[in-house]
Structure 1
Amino acid sequence: MTDALRLPDFIIAGAAKSATTWLQRSLQQSAAIHMPDHEPHFFSRRYDKGIDTYLEELGQAPDGVLLGEKSNSYLTEPEAAARIHKHIPDVKLVFQLRNPVARAYSDYCMLLRRGEVDADIAQHLDPDKAAEGRFLGDGRYAHHLQRFYDLFAPEQILVLRYEDVLSDPEGQLAKLGQHLGLSDALAPPLQSRVKDARATAVPRPLRKILAPFRPLLDPLRETAPMVKLRNLVARPQRYPAFEPSLKSAVRSYYQPQIDELSKLTATDFDIWRTDKG
């Protein structure tokens, strides 16, 4: 008998650059959970495709197996919370949040690595110049999460700190398992780094040249010839320094948001107020 398509039991909805892929890959080790490898981004970027398309992308999960997905864009998309609530009002939501200062720099480095932004870091991270941009705006967690708390019961929402993945990965996954009702069924957490900015990468000029061909090349990324070719051209990455004065300005920018986030989620985020966070 074929398992019926159905909507997810849980969604990992953000934040980007906060080890949500680590959560996903760790969960995928458990036979009690089914998640597609890709991020559907249905409720943020592809809602016009229709719910049937979403169901097909999620795939089939046997009875008794939790079905989930991860799409980091849901946190920051203004319409995502309402769309999710319309279709899956009882869904369990998971947000893993990173120090917004570190998250902004990591996000900037990722787009720099892709050749999508230039090396003028202040132009992209200085609050006086870029407060409305992606890098700083996406870290306004309280602002974005409020949309979800307005629609979903608090017990449906789990907010995790990225920093706890580093200090206690087993404990972090146990919290997630408990939220999903599977505290005794989860496999040990994934130990390796899923995405590492320190790894070598294809030089930015070559990335720009190859960008139009990504739809053709992406399915071949993990094949032996492509891996060998990539290793031949990949080089260590160098990023603009996050100077103390700029970092301090970004930290000051986020202080009110950290206060609001702590109140909204009843979670301590004081670790983010210093360089240790």
Structure 2
Amino acid sequence: MEMRDINFLIIGATKSATTWLQQSLQLDPCVYMPDPEIHYFSRYHDRGDRWYLENFTPAGEGLVIGEKSNSYLDTPAAAVRIHQTLPDVLLVTQLRNPVERAYSDYCMLHRRGDVTADIDRYLDPRQGAGGRFLQGGLYFQQLCRFLDLFPRERMLILFYEDLKTDAAGQVHDLRRFLALEKKPAFEPVAQKIKDKTKPLVDARLRRLLKPLKPIVKPLRETKGFEALRSMISDEFKYVPLTSDLAARMVGYYEADTDQLGSLLGLDLSHWLKSPFSETKRQSV
């Protein structure tokens, strides 16, 4: 296995159903992708190419090989690193309404206990500009870093909204871009709907219990484990994204979204209509 054997990278965006794309490709025996996100060109570049290649264990010859690491899209240094090492690689990105994407990302980390319930601190442009959540939706800036180095025809740009209306078509476009068979003998994986209200162990308690995870892992599917978990769990309550906060976020993304639409020749004005409210907060 050498660097030149890597054919494609799915580079982002976070919380835009890129795992669904990965799992759909992994159904094809002609495709190999490691399951975990490696984040080599973003977070772990200092570990070297040999470490990176150790994450790939394809079984067979002639496979289409790739990986998914969503951090590549919004990490400034990633584009140059990828171009230096994989100048001929194909790039795949799937974008999502930036306001919805930021709120979904915040909810994920809030559920994990990595951020607090002070949503304005993270999503209000007057406080959170420059942070992970808001920066992650500045797609024009992010894509330009790659398009300054790679020809446009080597990048496929998909949209989360299209996946929701035509999942099979989305996979077809991806497979055609990767020069795979047009009509595979399998269906794409079903869209996974996560239960955002499922009872959850308090984040502080989860941290205390983390050293015990290897011990209890074999018991996770037993009735006794589920009974114990239910005793120490409670429904997680998400902080709503108010219409006022959503409107400020729309304003933050307006210029970047207009530039992205011009770059791609698309009308993305539907992203600028304050699409979120308290009544939709569970669909993240």
| Local SS of the residue matching 2:46 | helix
1:47-62 to structure 2, matched below 5 A, reads 47-62=45-60
User: Unpaired runs of 5+ in structure 2?
Assistant: 277-284
2:150 equivalent to 1:156: no
- In structure 2, the CA distance between the partners of 1:181 and 1:144, relative to structure 1 (3 Å rule), is same
- In structure 2, the CA distance between the partners of 1:62 and 1:86, relative to structure 1 (3 Å rule), is same
1:20 and 1:196 map into 2 onto residues whose CA distance is: 18
Match of 2:180 among 182, 199, 204: 182
Q: Render the CA deviation track for 1:91-144: whole Å, top value 9, x for unaligned.
A: 000000111000111111111111111111111111111111111111111111
Q: Which amino acid is the alignment partner of residue 132 of structure 1?
A: G
Q: Which amino acid is the alignment partner of residue 12 of structure 1?
A: I
1:220 and 1:29 map into 2 onto residues whose CA distance is: 32
Structure 1 length-normalised TM = 0.90
Q: Render the CA deviation track for 1:191-231: whole Å, top value 9, x for unaligned.
A: 131655344433222223245x3xx73x678x551244365
- In structure 2, the CA distance between the partners of 1:127 and 1:166, relative to structure 1 (3 Å rule), is same
Paired position in structure 1 for 2:81: 83
Paired position in structure 2 for 1:202: 201
- In structure 2, the CA distance between the partners of 1:33 and 1:135, relative to structure 1 (3 Å rule), is same
| Local SS of the residue matching 1:158 | strand
1:196 and 1:247 map into 2 onto residues whose CA distance is: 23
Q: Which amino acid is the alignment partner of residue 240 of structure 2?
A: A
Paired position in structure 1 for 2:280: none
2:215 and 2:136 map into 1 onto residues whose CA distance is: 31
- In structure 2, the CA distance between the partners of 1:140 and 1:115, relative to structure 1 (3 Å rule), is same
| Local SS of the residue matching 1:238 | coil
User: Unpaired runs of 5+ in structure 1?
Assistant: none
CA contact (8 A) 1:115 1:208 kept: no
Q: Which amino acid is the alignment partner of residue 19 of structure 1?
A: A
Q: Which amino acid is the alignment partner of residue 270 of structure 2?
A: I
* Ranges of 4+ aligned residues in structure 1 off by more than 6 Å: none
- In structure 2, the CA distance between the partners of 1:34 and 1:96, relative to structure 1 (3 Å rule), is same
| Local SS of the residue matching 1:67 | strand
CA contact (8 A) 2:175 2:181 kept: yes
Paired position in structure 2 for 1:67: 65
Q: Which amino acid is the alignment partner of residue 22 of structure 1?
A: W
Paired position in structure 2 for 1:263: 262
Q: Render the CA deviation track for 1:64-93: whole Å, top value 9, x for unaligned.
A: 210010000001111111111111111000
1:147 and 1:227 map into 2 onto residues whose CA distance is: 45
Shift of 1:183: 4.3
CA contact (8 A) 2:247 2:274 kept: no
Paired position in structure 2 for 1:243: 242
RMSD of equivalent CA atoms: 2.1
CA contact (8 A) 1:30 1:185 kept: no
1:89 and 1:172 map into 2 onto residues whose CA distance is: 25
Identical residues among aligned pairs (%):
43
Q: How many residues align?
A: 269
2:29 and 2:181 map into 1 onto residues whose CA distance is: 13
1:195 and 1:14 map into 2 onto residues whose CA distance is: 20
Structure 2 length-normalised TM = 0.87
Paired position in structure 1 for 2:20: 22
